[in-house]
Amino acid sequence: MKDWGDGNTPPPVKDQGTSAIRPAHYRQGAIEVIVAIEALFGDQYHAGNVLKYLARYRYKNGIEDLKKAEWYLQRLIQLEQEKSGASTNTPNQLETKP
């Protein structure tokens, strides 16, 4: 399991409230799916998703895919800032998990 600084607590998931990004079926149970994926695959999962959504937006879901790419990029920035102890005040910052 990935070490989040205190040994066992992942950072809170923040989002823009976009249901296409965090639908209810991903938030069932004791741990959110994105937190489990991060624990297994690390931060590179987010970088890969940014590339995926940017590569396909013109051909598949347009603006929705751009918003998904933005969400994953903001999450990657958030995680990197938390690891380095840098300020997490970024433009267009993701909202706190409800």
Does residue 87 have a pLDDT over 70? Answer: no
**Contact, 94 vs 16, CB < 8 A?**
yes
Q: What is the DSSP string of 33-76?
A: HHHHHHHHH-THHHHHHHHHHHHHTTTTTTHHHHHHHHHHHHHH
- 3-49: per-residue pLDDT in tens? 445 444 455 555 555 566 666 776 677 777 778 888 888 878 999 99
C-beta atoms surrounding 34 within 10 Å: 21
Does residue 73 have a pLDDT over 90? Answer: yes
Q: Which of these, 61, 55, 68, lies nearest to 23 by C-alpha position?
A: 68
The reported pLDDT for the residue numbered 22 is: 67
Q: Locate the domains of the chain by residue range.
A: 14-96
